[in-house]
Structure formats: structure tokens, C-alpha cells
Amino acid sequence: MSAAVATGIAAAQPARLVDVDGVTKCFGTEDDRQICLESCSFGIPRGKLTVLMGPSGCGKTTLINLIAGYELPDRGSVRLEGAPVAGPGSDRLVVFQETTLFPWMTVYGNVAFGCKVKRLSQAAIREKAERILAKVGLYAFRDKYPSQLSGGMQRRTELARALINDPKLMILDEPFRGLDAMTRELMQEFYLKLFEETCLTTLFVTHELEEAIFMADRLVLLTYKPGQVKEILDVDLPRPRHFSMFASKRFFELHDHAMSLLVEESKKAFAAGCTSAFDQIAGARPPAGG
């Protein structure tokens, strides 16, 4: 393919892979109707890592379910490359907080599972599985079972199981939550390196502000319920990222600005009785006297 043709194809693709446009989502009966999201709009740029943050109860999980196609909006639309999202698909894959590995399958079996469902040939499955296992550093552990792996290795196995299906969008729902501090840092570094090599469009949900700024190209901050976009913050730290950036002036500027917005929304959540509202903000405390 010539450079001119490749440029033409790239130019024909929209800059945003996903558009969330005026989405409202409610739950409950008519007598006890709860508005989770209201007129929520933002885009997920192609080839970028977008991080979603907000106080507990702001609708982050609901947005994941809408983008993945597990639920449909009551009003508004979610579009992938301009087409409405009408259900789940292999072009959008979710790695959840809790492990979903099959305990009776080996690492190889778990990673290859999606390809087997697609009925690829054994040779094609083996080639793809071995390549992705080598990429995530698990080739030597391909015959182990999940119970024989560390927490970080289980997370890498789940990432490999998603990556082997070549998704257009990777959705990570607090994927490193529950890991010890050292393993969490290693997994952050691992995924950043993977992202910077592949530019795989990623939606990353976290409660940790430092993690959010370290990972993100764009930080989407949500209000307390009903969830709306409070601000979209462009994170202009250079790539490749390194932990030394935590000490940079720009990191502190971004952190302080995002912190002020999150504390404002967390106070609303705390006043409404959400006692976990401040969990995602390191160093923040509920206001004295409620």
C-alpha cells in the first residue's frame, strides 16, 4: 500500500472511535426511579488512552455497560465508528475488576478460548496464542492454571485473552484494583508499554487519581449522580511515560486541578450519604461535621 493511499484511509476514519451523545440512563420502577446518567456526552479518540473518573455512584460502571453493549440508553446514543451500539461485540472487550479466568483451563486454554469459539484452525490458534503469550511474558507459564499464578500474572492473562481477539476498543474496569502496591506499579508500566507500542484505543476506569494522570491522554471527570461530564482534561505529559514524571511540575499541576474538581463532587456524594465517596482521592478526607 502506498503512503498516499494509507494517508487517505487514515483521513477517512473519524478522529473519535466512540461517541457517547446525550445519554440518559435510569433504573428502578416508576415509583422509585433513579437517574444514573443524564445528558452525558463525550468521545473516545481513536488511538488514545481515555481515563474515566468520578465519585462512587456517578455512573462509571453504567457507561462501561453501555459502551460494551450490555445495556442500552434510555435516551441519547452510543456509537462506534458512527454506527449505534446495539449489543456486545468482539470489537469491544472488557477486562473487569474481578478475575474471570476459567480455573479449570490452563493459561494457554484461557487465552485461546475466544479463537476456539470463532472456530479458527488449530494452527492459527496456536500461532496467535503463542505470539500474544510471548508479548505479555507468559509463554513459559502457558501450561499453568490460574491458581498457580500471582495476581499480576492473572491480570496479564486476562489482558492476553482480550488482546488475542484484536478489539477496536479495550475497556479496563479498575483492572489493577486489589493488587499490592508494587504489583500495581508493574502492571501500570506493563500496560503503558503495551499501549505505546500498539496505540490500541483504551477506556480505563480507576479510582486512583495518580494512576489516572499517569496513564491518560485524556481524563474524563464525571459529576455525582446523575452522572454528567464535569470536565475533560487533556493530559499533556510526554510519552513514553516513566514514574519519574510523578515528581514533575506538570504532573502536580494536573493533579491539583483534577483533585479540586473531584473533591467538589465527592463532597456532594458524601452529603448524600455515600460514605465511600472519598475513597478514590488519596489524602482527601470527608468534610468535618458532614
Instruction: Report whether the peptide linkage leading into residue 175 is cis, meaning its omega lies within 30 degrees of zero.
Output: no
Instruction: Return the pLDDT at 272.
Output: 66
Tell me if residue 204 falls in helix, strand or coil. Answer: strand
Instruction: Return the pLDDT at 286.
Output: 41
Instruction: Return the pLDDT at 80.
Output: 96
Q: Could you write out the DSSP letters of every residue in 228-262?
A: -EEEEEE----SS--GGGGGSHHHHHHHHHHHHHH
Burial label for 13, CB within 10 Å (0-12, 13-18, 19+), is exposed
Instruction: Return the pLDDT at 9.
Output: 40
Instruction: Return the pLDDT at 133.
Output: 93
* Mean pLDDT over each residue of the chain, to the nearest integer: 87
How far apart are alpha carbons 158 and 99 in whole angstroms? 8
What's the pTM value of the predicted model, to 2 decimals? 0.86
Instruction: Return the pLDDT at 13.
Output: 61
The grid coordinates of residue 246 equal 510523578
Percent helix, percent strand, percent coil in the chain, to nearest 5: 40, 20, 35
Residues of the chain scoring pLDDT < 70: 1-14, 272-290
Instruction: Return the pLDDT at 225.
Output: 86
Q: What are the pLDDT digits (tens) for 12-44?
A: 566 899 999 999 999 887 777 888 999 999 999
User: What residues pair up with 37 in beta bridges, in sequence order?
Assistant: 25, 227
Where do the domains of the chain lie, and which CATH numbers do they carry?
42-72+170-283 (3.40.50.300), 101-166 (no CATH)
